[in-house]
Structure 1
Amino acid sequence: MPYAYEYPRANLAVDCVVFGLDAPHSLKMLLIRRDLPPFEDRWALPGGFVHINESVDAAARRELREETGLDEVFLEQLYTFGAVDRDPRDRVVTVAYYALVNLQEHAIAAATDAREAKWFALDQLPTLAFDHDQIVAAAIARLKGKVRYQPIGFELLPTKFTLSQLQTLYETVLGLSLDKRNFRKKILKMDLLIELNETETGVAHRAAKLYQFDESKYHQLAQKGFNFEL
């Protein structure tokens, strides 16, 4: 027989802050328009309740897939938000995640209890449902901090990219201007980029060389104590 708890229990949910880089200089966030109360028709983060037979990680990926169509993306736990009054329906604790995707390689499609899914520039975000404004602020701070010491920024780029695109990524996320010569010297010295025998196409200016991030080499170096820092 199932165990009957003497005290009420909080509900468990997940919410996902999804970042995407829109060339050339805009960092965006994916939001869904809610199709159910509370906050019906309001913009919110993709998310929902954790099923009794799944882990929180699995729930986050399922909700992201069901509400936005995104799958197989970088996803990492951010923080747990548990204010008593954060959800008007009941006592709900949410485990928040942040995801990084390349906009050109991942199409979005709203489904289940999401009426619409749409990308917003970070400086044009609407007022969000629940306490999602707080979750977004925490995710932005985490991204700006972590992108400096782990190569997660490559998740926002196409598989093949130029050094200019890479520099623009860091300038956009960090909100600052980087010296071109010093940036390239530092990133190439790490020896984590594979120089391809290809150049960009369809550009009016001189075509630049294309590179790929060597993820397997990074993991090998990281096991030996390599420190990625920009």
Structure 2
Amino acid sequence: MPDDEGWTLPEVAVAVDLAVLTVHDGALQIMLVKRGIPPYEGMLALPGGFLASTEEDLDVAAARELEEETGLHAKDLHLEQLRTYGTPGRDPRRRVITVCYLGFSPNLPEPAAGGDASEAVLMPVDKVLRPRATVAFDHKKIITDAVERARSKLEYTTLAAAFCGPEFTVTDLREVYEIVWGETLDPRNFHRKIMSVPGFLVPTGERVSRQAGRPAAVFRRGPATILHPAMLRSP
């Protein structure tokens, strides 16, 4: 269809994909589905799909695809847009532009596949991103970007608490940083930095004993959203 200036506008389909990360079994893991239809039938991919109509909102489409393909509900996740991907040829069917959403959640329930997905699984990102691992479409690139976004956001925001349950200890929080960043942190320095951020943690007044020694204080996530100064990864 030509526009007002005489250019021929290409037919473009719009889709949404979801990169949902969680900390599970001591590893940073991502939700993937096994495709039940061509193209790439039987291959692992991010959950997602095309907008149901030209009237469907992107956020609504992302929530719908998440529930249809994994049984998860968007309201139970921290969900934000990662970026848009539109390289020609990324989908062999036609020109497809996808808006990817990045999600964080603690203790994801067992996924239940549906829609175009024949199976839904949690997989460690280190395994998915191995050089010989294969993922449908350009989803390996998207997963790489999602993991890096998660790691960088932990440097300057309080988003690490989104990987924790409603109540947690400073040790629980430190383990999230260590797993997502893939490095060991000094417990005393970490405790000092975290406790110096106003509004990051709210004491519950409870204590919990998990190992020999003094019981650890239990906290909830506070209203703060920014870490200042930032807590940077090792170079």
Q: How big is the shift at 1:199?
A: 3.0
Residue 176 of structure 2 aligns with which residue? 169
Cα distance in structure 1, aligned partners of 2:193 and 2:16: 38
Of residues 78, 81, 84, the one that matches 1:74 is 78
Cα distance in structure 1, aligned partners of 2:27 and 2:203: 26
Cα distance in structure 1, aligned partners of 2:211 and 2:185: 24
Distance 1:77 1:228, change over 3 A: farther
Query: What letter is aligned with 2:117?
Result: A
Q: Deviation per CA, 1:94-128: give whole Å up to 9, x if none.
A: 11111001125x34211111111100011212410
Are 2:197 and 2:228, in contact at CA under 8 Å, matched by a contact in 1? no
Q: How big is the shift at 1:204?
A: 5.3
Unaligned runs of 5+ residues in structure 1 are none
Q: How big is the shift at 1:227?
A: 3.3
Query: What letter is aligned with 2:126?
Result: D
Residue 63 of structure 2 aligns with which residue? 61
Cα distance in structure 2, aligned partners of 1:61 and 1:40: 23
Residue 195 of structure 1 aligns with which residue? 203
Query: What letter is aligned with 1:227?
Result: H
Is 1:90 the counterpart of 2:94 in the alignment? yes
Is 1:227 the counterpart of 2:228 in the alignment? yes
Distance 1:145 1:131, change over 3 A: same
Is 1:136 the counterpart of 2:143 in the alignment? yes
Is 1:210 the counterpart of 2:212 in the alignment? no
Structural mapping, 1:83-122, within 5 Å: 83-103=87-107, 106-122=109-125
| TM-score, length-scaled by structure 1 | 0.87
Distance 1:228 1:61, change over 3 A: farther
| TM-score, length-scaled by structure 2 | 0.85
Cα distance in structure 1, aligned partners of 2:229 and 2:66: 29
Cα distance in structure 2, aligned partners of 1:170 and 1:78: 20
Query: What letter is aligned with 1:58?
Result: V
Are 1:151 and 1:228, in contact at CA under 8 Å, matched by a contact in 2? no
Structural mapping, 1:15-26, within 5 Å: 15-23=17-25, 25-26=26-27
Q: How big is the shift at 1:169?
A: 0.6
Q: Which runs of 4+ in 1 moved over 6 A?
A: none
Q: Secondary structure at the match of 1:161?
A: coil
Are 1:150 and 1:228, in contact at CA under 8 Å, matched by a contact in 2? no
Q: Secondary structure at the match of 2:118?
A: strand
Distance 1:134 1:147, change over 3 A: same
Are 2:34 and 2:42, in contact at CA under 8 Å, matched by a contact in 1? yes
Are 2:31 and 2:121, in contact at CA under 8 Å, matched by a contact in 1? yes
Query: What letter is aligned with 1:167?
Result: R
| C-alpha RMSD of the superposition | 2.1
Cα distance in structure 2, aligned partners of 1:95 and 1:28: 21
Q: Deviation per CA, 1:186-209: give whole Å up to 9, x if none.
A: 1112132112232336x4545422
Cα distance in structure 2, aligned partners of 1:183 and 1:12: 43
